[in-house]
Amino acid sequence: MATPTPPTCPAPMKATSNGAFQHENPLDYALPLLILQICLVVAFTRFLAFLLRPLRQPRVIAEIIGGILLGPSAIGRSHTFLNTVFPKKSSTVLETLANIGLLFFLFLVGLELDMRSIRRTGHKALGIALAGISVPFILGIGTSFVLRSTISKGVEPTAFLVFMGVALSITAFPVLARILAELKLLTTDVGRIAMSAAAVNDVAAWILLALAIALSGSNTSPLISLWVLLCGAAFVLFCVFAVRPVLALMAKRSHEGEPVKELHICITLTIVLAASFATDTIGIHALFGAFVIGIVMPKDGPFAGVLIEKIEDIISSLFLPLYFVSSGLKTNVATISGGTSWGLLFLVIFTACFGKIVGTVVVAIICKMPFREALALGFLMNTKGLVELIVLNIGKDRKVLNDQTFAICVLMALFTTFITTPIVMAVYKPARRGAPYKHKTIQRKDRDTELRVLACFHSTRNIPTLINLIESSRGTRKRGKLCIYAMHLMELSERSSAISMVHKARNNGLPFWNKIQEDRDQMVIPFEAYGQLSSVNVRPMTAISALSTIHEDICTSAHHKRAAMIILPFHKHQRADGSMESLGHSFRLVNQNVLTHAPCSVGILVDRGLGGTSQVQASDVSYKVMVPFFGGRDDREALAYGMRMAEHPGILLTVVKFAAPPGKTFTFGGNLVAVTADKDKKVIKGADVSSDYDKQEDDQIWSEFMSAQSSNQESMRYEEKLVESKGGVITALKEMNKSTLVVVGRMPPVAPLVDNSDCKELGPIGSYLASSDFSTTASVVVIQQYNPSKDVHPLVMEVSDYPAVPDTPRFIV
């Protein structure tokens, strides 16, 4: 009788092939196969993220779904696809690289967690965190008994109940932060409590996970588990008292504005790997070591930020999605079959949601939170994500969870996270309310009142011109004060550093420059320095939001700060050859949205180097400011702003009043245009009619200007020009191209001077002045006056008894 041939293991894959021309299949070799896997995973998950973007889902949802679809649950049901793209012999290489990426990502997560904020967590957030952990943990233990009696028979009971308890009680801190930022809730009471409670929950989850791992070893001796826990505790103490001083020394030697030494980066990343090796040797998984190093890493100074910049893109973009696919290849939804399995899936989802939501809501109501806020907080705390998958994968690798239980828990994590955003949007819509205020324009009867301006900027490129414009606007007499709110506009990207920046700056909801001077936004320092050296009150602010919604932050802040004008940078900047280069269509949409929704006047600054590339001292200001005046609401605002600037002794204001021949208008046989206020921003033709009211208002402000000019002829001049065609207007405007600054109304009653303009939102005159045909040296401010009759859908509802917002620096998300 022949003896059966024992099964043989497949030969290990070689790294690289000799190429297709040598009759070798690249997919039989590790490196080309891994490259194909990475490209496929990244492209597929990014495509899913694009499809889910309208639902405002975090990218982790797309990555979890992508991993499941590429696995045996969907596309992987084709054995040809699975054996070609994800063969079993490649799983070791794929999982190793995925875990390397996950290891460094958890180091970044640890960097996001500031233990000082956790120690400062209030009793309310601490109580909510404890309820959000304990109630679902207890229910998870109860669920584990049901699972063990049905689909998980024979598993080690203690480890299984701990894993199930941890799986149901986790709140994903990074995913929650992303959802709160997307919904603009980070600086609300709900957002602050959620973040504080989630931070406590995250730390507790890792402690419980370490316990679960210690209990799930192949050696079931309690003594072994005890040694694992004791060694894990000793490792944490070693990191706090031995590793942290080394990291703090390197952070201390990394000064602001100086490059961080490459040796310091290398040492830190090596420490992360060494710590991971140590925890893997102890038996509590390599990821634990990386996470602990991230937590003990000093958060102050530029060192942590540079570390994030060095590693986050390649880790989160290329390596981390591999972990979701590695998890998805283990997830087979087809194992959930029959009424029992689907009933257990419903039970697990219900238990997870009920425990987390009810536990959170009850404690929140006891803490006297409104029911809607408490309910929203409950759903937010029910967010699962990457940490959940880590727990489940470790449980599966250690034979604590079988295929069916694993698939049920993965679907539970996906479902609970997916429903968070739409339900929170439905149950909790914090109304933007504010106190009504009077001065929403520069033109006003009482010129002795304070002028408040919200000046926005994207980068350092805008700062010198903006400060010089502020200096020109302040005047030197005692007529009135000038208060500037300098708002740094920052895009909230998918990077983890964006959220890390939010946490670092927000400092538990308080103005971050009040306590942590080293970590404040460096962009606002020039404005603070200018405010200290001048008589202008400067209030620095920072707004972090997606560019598609950042206009809401701008308009809301302008209302809360009772601003009379918002100054925005133009979406183009001037190149060295004088041509205008676009910064992107998104920045243009920001300006258009602000023009539509602003609660006050708006000025768009076309920067051509007002005063040069540095701040000009008050005594050195010598600017020629031109104001072309055609009439209309916006031109009146531009003239009022020019008259304000003329108070400065270094400003020479020249107003050019245009006049059409008798019986004719400035349309010259053409049509007036305007930009619609709806989301389509269509250019429409308007009627060639100037109301009697507008003419009376034009005459009134002109008489005020003439009165001021007669008493201040050294600083104010005027000219009157009769123009008979568009060519005459262009010729007259070109005479202004040697001036320092041109202030013009956005929508005067003039026919467009440029036929094919890509910035029609600047109006008929502004679009020409912003073109390279006009000038390469004269900066332009295009002003739109606030029109209450068009403010039909305000972003901020005015409430008469609403408390005034204090004039402190603010951080807005």
Tokens 């109501």 locate to: 365
Contact 305, 119 (CB under 8 A): no
pLDDT of amino acid 279 = 92
Give one word for 422, left, alpha or beta, with left for phi > 0 and alpha for psi -120 to 50: alpha
Element (H, E) at 292: helix 286-296
Note whether 64 and 413 are within 8 A (CB): yes
CB within 8 A of 156, min separation 6: which ones? 215, 216, 220, 400
| Cα 238 to Cα 230: distance, rounded to the nearest angstrom | 12
**Mean pLDDT, residues 622-638:** 88
Decide: 520 and 486 in contact? Cβ < 8 Å. no
- Compute the mean pLDDT over every residue in the chain, rounded to the nearest whole number: 81
DSSP sequence for 180-202: HHHTT-TTSHHHHHHHHHHHHHH
Alpha-carbon distance of 751 to 668, in angstroms, equals: 7
What tokens were used for 175? 């995913």
What is d(CA 688, CA 677) in angstroms, rounded to the nearest whole number? 19
pLDDT in tens, 459-481: 878 788 888 888 888 765 554 47
Determine the longest span between alpha carbons in the chain, in angstroms.
122
3-state secondary structure 504-566: HHHCCCCCHHHCCHHHCCHHHHHHHHHHHHCCCEEEEEEEEECCCCHHHHHHHHHHHCCCCEE
Q: What is the pLDDT of residues 575-591, one digit of tens each?
A: 777 777 888 888 889 98
Cβ atoms within 10 Å of 588's Cβ, excluding its own: 18
pLDDT at residue number 513: 32
CB 732 within 8 A of CB 658: yes
Q: Where are the beta strands (DSSP E) in 641-766?
A: 651-659, 672-675, 683-686, 716-722, 741-745
Q: pLDDT per residue over 182-216, tens digit each?
A: 777 876 778 888 888 888 888 888 888 888 887 77
User: DSSP character for 11?
Assistant: P
Q: What angle do CA 176, 179, 180 make, to 5 degrees?
A: 85
Q: What pLDDT was estimated at residue 689?
A: 43
Residue with tokens 């390599």: 286
- Roughly how many angstroms between the first and final C-alpha of the chain, as a whole number? 77
Q: Is the pLDDT of residue 680 over 60?
A: no
Over 70: is that where the pLDDT of 98 sits? Answer: yes
Beta strands at 580-582 and 572-574: parallel, antiparallel or unpaired: antiparallel
Helix, strand or coil, per DSSP, at residue 545: strand
Q: In this structure, which amino acid lies at residue 308?
A: I
Higher local confidence (pLDDT), 739 or 6: 739
Per-residue model confidence as pLDDT tens digits over 140-177? 888 888 888 888 787 878 888 888 888 888 888 778 87
| Cα-to-chain-centroid distance, residue 778 | 34
Q: Which two tokens stand for residue 664?
A: 């004719």
- Least trusted range by pLDDT, from 358-372, 411-425, 688-702, 739-753: 688-702
The residue among 790, 802, 745 whose CA lies nearest residue 562 is 802
Residue bearing tokens 């043989």: 8
**Helix (H) or strand (E) run with residue 741 in it:** strand 741-745
Q: pTM of this prediction?
A: 0.76
Closest CA relative to residue 328, chosen from 84, 41, 38 = 41
Rounded-to-integer distance, Cα 418 and Cα 295, Å: 28
Query: What digits encode the pLDDT tens for the residues 420-432?
Result: 888 888 888 766 6
**Most trustworthy range by pLDDT among 565-569, 732-736, 749-753:** 565-569
CA distances from 25 to 214, 489, 627 (A): 43, 51, 72
pLDDT above 90 covers what percent of the chain?
A: 16
Torsion of CA 176, 796, 557, 429, to 10 degrees: -10
Distances (CA, A) of 390 to 169, 202, 340, 529: 14, 13, 26, 48
Rounded CA separation 463/471 (Å) = 12
Residue 42 reports pLDDT greater than 50: yes
User: Which of 429, 414, 431, 427 is CA-nearest to residue 378?
Assistant: 427
The backbone torsions φ and ψ at residue 638, rounded to the nearest 5 degrees and listed phi first, read: -65, -40
Between 729 and 256, name the one with better pLDDT.
Answer: 729
Q: What is the pLDDT of residues 775-807, one digit of tens each?
A: 778 889 999 999 888 776 677 777 666 565 555
pLDDT tens per residue, range 504-521:
444 433 333 333 334 455
3-state SS, one letter per residue, for 430-484? CCCEECCCCCCCCCCCCCCCCEEEEEEECCHHHHHHHHHHHHHHCCCCCCCCEEE
pLDDT at 413 over 70: yes
Give the DSSP H or E segment for 538: strand 537-545
The answer to whether 484 and 527 are in contact (CB under 8 A) is yes
Confidence band (pLDDT; 50, 70, 90) for 614?
low
Task: Tell me the Cα Rg of the chain.
Answer: 32
Average pLDDT score over residue span 227-234: 88
d(CA 741, CA 757): 21
Question: CA 273 → CA 103, 250, 288, 294, 518, distances in Å?
Answer: 8, 17, 11, 12, 29
Quick one: pLDDT at residue 109?
A: 83
Rounded to the nearest angstrom, the gap between the alpha carbon of residue 465 and the centroid of all alpha carbons in its chain is 26
Q: Give the tokens for residue 210.
A: 């370490």
Per residue, the 3-state secondary structure of 748-813, as one string, reads CCCCCCCCCCCCHHHHHHHHHHCCCCCCCCCEEEEEECCCHHHCCCCCCEECCCCCCCCCCCEEEC
CB contact set of 234 (below 8 Å; sequence gap of 6+): none
Helices (H), 12-58: 30-52
Cα 124 from Cα 637, distance rounded (Å): 49
Asked if 813 and 187 touch (Cβ cutoff 8 Å), the reply is yes
CA 692 → CA 130, 631, 696, 699, distances in Å?
68, 12, 6, 11
What residue ranges in 317-367 does DSSP mark as E strands?
Answer: none
Strands (E), 54-190: none
pLDDT of 281: 92
The C-alpha atoms of residue 628 and residue 606 are separated, in whole angstroms, by 16
Distance CA 794, CA 559 (A): 10
What pLDDT, on the 0 to 100 scale, is given for residue 384?
Answer: 86
Q: Is 600 left (phi over 0), alpha (psi -120 to 50) or beta?
A: beta
| Token output for 544 | 């972090």
Percent of the chain exceeding pLDDT 70 equals 85
* Beta partners for residue 721, in sequence order: 658
Q: In terms of DSSP bridges, do strands 779-784 and 683-686 run parallel, antiparallel, or are they unpaired?
A: unpaired
- Which of 115-124, 157-166, 631-640, 718-727: highest mean pLDDT? 631-640
Average pLDDT over residues 315-337: 88
For 378-415, give the DSSP string: HHHHT---HHHHHHHHHHHHTTSS-HHHHHHHHHHHHH
- pLDDT of 121 over the 80 cut: no
2: number of Cβ within 10 Å: 4
Task: Quote the CA–CA distance of 609 and 775 in Å, as a whole number.
Answer: 12
Average the pLDDT over each of 226-230, 560-564, 607-611 and give the range with the smallest value.
607-611
